[in-house]
């Protein structure tokens, strides 16, 4: 593959597959696995990750946030069930029904709109009832859930297949709230199934719960960030071995020696304290290489760590190589990943940027080519 832009993300599909197999080994073969591939697979590539999961049998469901995300998977030939995890506007439902996307239902009005979309499309719509048991974001309140399940079961063209919730602090060190929330959800799920008059697919375990709350595993688990190689929080138990799903790479595009006193970059925020070599790399904040790395980030070249100097630009950044160097134009530069025995992990980025690994990988811009390792 010829790269027309040196800055690229190498997606380690074999590592993601291994993470999924480790999850399966932990939760057991009796449970289904839904993988979150929303936001372009957390930046890794939703279609490629989904195809790998379908081909290797490491997941039974796919989870998306928007109707276009689900349609993209269907147009790519994915046959696995797809659950849209949040509410759907009435204007979006016809396209969702046509694509065979399972809808999360949070209200009676949404249920009625889904039934109307199914009638108009001339085909049934699959739905899961979403219950708010403590997230406070979306979902029917738990005391109202059985009545909504009864209503859904009576609607023509609507097939109620599951009930689920979301856990806001399953990754926290204190397990008390999550344990109580799981207990409440198990109770309301039983009431919902009684109202529906049949067994439903019950699920609530996100990555934090997969790692630290076995009672939440139920009929299906929904790992997100962990399939891409990261625990959701440093406080989350390290109970399943995980491998990173992405490396971010570029190459040296320009090299020059500058005398002491030379300023580098916008705002002249760094001045060379000695004669030194400066390497320019074609990676900047438009690629997801955050501007907050200005004068405080680092890269790896030939297994050695070098500091970023000056402000990270939209499309380029500068690196201080020191007074002597054997680095040359065209050499590989690791922004995130391994170079020899050295490594820059996504967690390091997140700590320096004051954010979480989810945001780091999601912000890798679409112009950064994804190169997929075989699996």
The catalytic residues are 38, 266
**CA dist list (Å): 141 to 130, 160, 165, 177, 187:** 9, 18, 11, 17, 13
Closest Cα partner for 135 from 106, 101, 94?
Answer: 106
Q: Checking phi first, is residue 339 left (phi over 0); if not, alpha (psi -120 to 50) or beta?
A: beta
- Which H helix or E strand runs over 361? helix 357-362
Contacts of 232 (CB under 8 A, 6+ apart): 170, 171, 206, 207, 208, 211, 224, 225, 226, 356, 358
One-character DSSP codes across 249-286: EEE--EEEEE-TT-EESGGG-EE-SSSEEEEEES--GG
Buried b (16+ CB within 10 A) or exposed e, 268-307: eebebeeebbbbbbbbbbbbbbbeebbeebbbbbbeeebb
Instruction: Tell me the three state secondary structure of residue 126.
Output: strand
Rounded distance between C-alpha atoms, residue 131 and residue 104, angstroms? 10
Contacts of 139 (CB under 8 A, 6+ apart): 106, 130, 131, 132, 133, 165, 166
Q: Residue length, the chain?
A: 375
The dihedrals phi and psi of 35, each to the nearest 5 degrees, come to: -105, 135
Q: Nearest 10 degrees: CA dihedral of 34, 36, 40, 43?
A: -130
One-character DSSP codes across 156-203: TTEEEEEEE---TTTTSS--HHHHHHHHHHHHHHHHHHHHHTS--EEE
Q: Angle at which helices 67-75 and 46-56 pack, to 10 degrees?
A: 60
């Amino acid at each position: 593959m010829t790269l027309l832009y040196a800055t690229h993300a190498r997606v380690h599909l074999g590592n993601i597959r291994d993470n999924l197999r480790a999850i399966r080994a932990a939760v057991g073969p009796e449970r289904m696995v839904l993988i979150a591939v929303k936001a372009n697979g957390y930046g890794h590539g939703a279609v490629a990750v989904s195809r790998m999961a379908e081909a290797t049998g490491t997941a039974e469901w796919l989870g998306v946030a928007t109707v276009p995300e689900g349609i993209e998977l269907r147009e790519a030939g994915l046959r696995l069930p797809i659950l849209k995890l949040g509410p759907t506007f009435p204007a979006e439902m016809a396209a969702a029904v046509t694509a065979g996307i399972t809808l999360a239902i949070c209200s009676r009005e949404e249920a009625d709109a889904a039934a109307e979309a199914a009638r108009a499309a001339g085909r049934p719509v699959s739905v899961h009832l979403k219950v708010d048991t403590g997230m406070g974001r979306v979902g029917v309140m738990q005391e109202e859930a059985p009545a909504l399940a009864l209503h859904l079961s009576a609607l023509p063209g609507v097939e109620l297949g599951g009930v689920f919730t979301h856990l806001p602090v399953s990754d926290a060190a204190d397990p008390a709230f999550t344990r109580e929330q799981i207990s409440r959800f198990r109770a309301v799920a039983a009431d919902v199934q009684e109202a529906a008059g049949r067994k439903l697919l019950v699920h609530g375990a996100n990555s934090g719960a997969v790692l630290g709350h076995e009672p939440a595993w139920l009929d299906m688990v929904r790992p997100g960030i962990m399939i891409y190689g990261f625990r959701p929080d440093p406080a989350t138990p390290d109970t399943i071995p995980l491998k990173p799903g992405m490396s971010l790479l570029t190459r040296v595009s320009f090299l020059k020696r500058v005398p002491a006193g030379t300023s580098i970059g916008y705002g002249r925020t760094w001045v060379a304290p000695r004669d030194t070599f400066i390497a320019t790399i074609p990676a900047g904040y438009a690629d997801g290489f955050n501007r907050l790395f200005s004068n405080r980030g680092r890269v790896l070249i030939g297994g050695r760590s070098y500091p970023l100097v000056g402000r990270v630009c939209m499309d380029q950044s500068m690196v201080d190589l020191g007074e002597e160097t054997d680095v040359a134009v065209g050499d590989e530069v690791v922004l995130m990943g391994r170079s020899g025995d050295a490594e820059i992990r996504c967690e390091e980025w997140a700590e320096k940027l004051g954010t979480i690994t989810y945001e780091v990988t999601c912000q890798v811009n679409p112009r950064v080519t994804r190169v997929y390792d075989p699996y």
